[in-house]
Structure 1
């Protein structure tokens, strides 16, 4: 039944234990504790127009500043006492207010780990992933992924290290890195590999990026192999040097250049550096790693030169 609600104090649904004054037309900013008589207007306000309601007191259209402040104080005290403020997110990722019944709880925050992309191949301890160039390399037994803090290269090396024979530090017995060729003048894999081999040798056995001479510097070198090779289904080119150093056993360095199968098909450079002597990895492992280079997701490209094999060195 439709009726006009007379002015008076009514329970405020938005603030338990609080009454708000209804002036016959709208809710006012006057509030009082439930049952209290001394707070609020001294007399009712004469209604100016009827209000249509369905059974029960009217629902407040707004909350007065005093009630809003009181409610905020209650939430603040509860947060301080409990030590946790819970913020949830809706299905679309929109933040919800603290205390929302559809938000996450403190237990959810504590026990639910951050989501991880299960499809990321980089989680495989046997695979080195170069996301930029779209390739993966097999990580041999006894090797591991490492961080190149200076050059930011994709890197793996032998787990076993030893005291560097030159300047202070720890040296691995073998190391492999991949990067994108940056030269704009050199267009072929052969030209890039021949140009890079000197830098590859110097970076490992002469001076490191910090300027240390971990092996006492390179005293001499000789080319022990060069030729075309299929990498990831594309024809590439490699150059391999044997280097002698001022301290330690010296080693073998290889620059391998080949085109990527993704994006603009820019040239990729893989650098190999293996110590010489019985402690160094076998040279055949360079070819094994080369044959294992594949596109991210697996499979072979099967492009030009797929009938070639790594040259005998």
Structure 2
């Protein structure tokens, strides 16, 4: 079953900019928008070399671009750990306003907002929820979800803001990542993840890397694959990057990509936190199929 969300418009003629149409879980609706790559947006930088702007995707930077409200899509919701206040990203200018984390009770083009479970950030399209570690910020979306912590000026461009740790999810197709298996997809994605997380002007080029992990893993009840690198950067801290790919617990045939990037710094999260996040990934509430936990 294809989950509700924005998908390539099956009726698009191919002429003009690509567009997406809202699928409400049962039928195509009349709501359309420009595809993420074709739409112009304003962004704030809050990633490990990641540009993010509130929620949804565009495959870049240690994870995904998260679209803001200016795409006229379904508003996003934010989840946070029990000890931290829930924040709702504000205007497309990047201003944030305090919110109550309404649990996804508002209305959007296809109905209610993505479900917000306490302590989780939900990627509705992928059908998964990411556990939000204590002190981190979690952001849910119709397509894509993210976890971030430790904002600081980017070492290569101090006018921009980076984070010490970032974890972002999206369906593989939404990131234009094509591969037949989770292993092939993870091995294909890791170099792009590294380049976009630490290879841009925020950290300078990557001078070398070391593979730390390349192995099968079970996530949310599905057999996936994970690849982890340690990268040496030209400017600022070095980092760890990881590409994790596994089958969606909600949609047969869909692969989900979870990109992560952690600075190597005393103020950055330990790698054990990344392992805990992976073990805690589960099927989103109501998505059906699969259970939490990674082996």
- TM-score in terms of structure 1 length: 0.53
Bigger RCO (CA 8 Å, 6+ sep): 2
More helix by share: 1
**Offset of 1:163 from its aligned partner?**
1.4
- Residue 128 (structure 2) pairs with residue 156 (structure 1): no
Q: 8 Å contact 1:177–1:271 — kept in the other structure?
A: yes
Alignment of 1:1-313 (within 5 A): 117=105, 122-124=115-117, 126-146=119-139, 153-158=144-149, 160-168=150-158, 169-182=160-173, 186-207=179-200, 213-297=201-285, 301=290, 309=295
**Offset of 1:171 from its aligned partner?**
1.1
2:256 alignment partner, SS class = strand
CA distance in 1, matches of 2:130, 2:250: 16
Q: 8 Å contact 2:123–2:140 — kept in the other structure?
A: no
**Offset of 1:123 from its aligned partner?**
3.9
Partner of 2:109 in structure 1?
none
Q: 8 Å contact 1:180–1:269 — kept in the other structure?
A: yes
Q: 8 Å contact 1:121–1:127 — kept in the other structure?
A: no
How many residues align? The count is: 184
Partner of 1:111 in structure 2?
none
CA distance in 2, matches of 1:180, 1:165: 30
1:173 alignment partner, SS class = strand
**Offset of 1:234 from its aligned partner?**
0.8
**Offset of 1:195 from its aligned partner?**
0.2
CA distance in 2, matches of 1:249, 1:115: 37
Q: 8 Å contact 1:294–1:300 — kept in the other structure?
A: no
- TM-score in terms of structure 2 length: 0.56
More strand by share: 2
CA offsets, 1:111-163, max 9 Å, x none? xxx99728967444621000001110101112103599xxx7422200x3111
- Structure 1 residues 146 and 131, CA, compared in 2 at 3 Å: closer, same or farther? closer
**Offset of 1:180 from its aligned partner?**
1.2
- Structure 1 residues 205 and 295, CA, compared in 2 at 3 Å: closer, same or farther? same
**Offset of 1:277 from its aligned partner?**
2.3
Unaligned runs of 5+ in 1: 1-113, 208-212
Greater C-alpha radius of gyration: 1
Q: Post-superposition, which runs of at least 4 consecutive aligned residues in structure 1 deviate over 3 A? A: 118-125
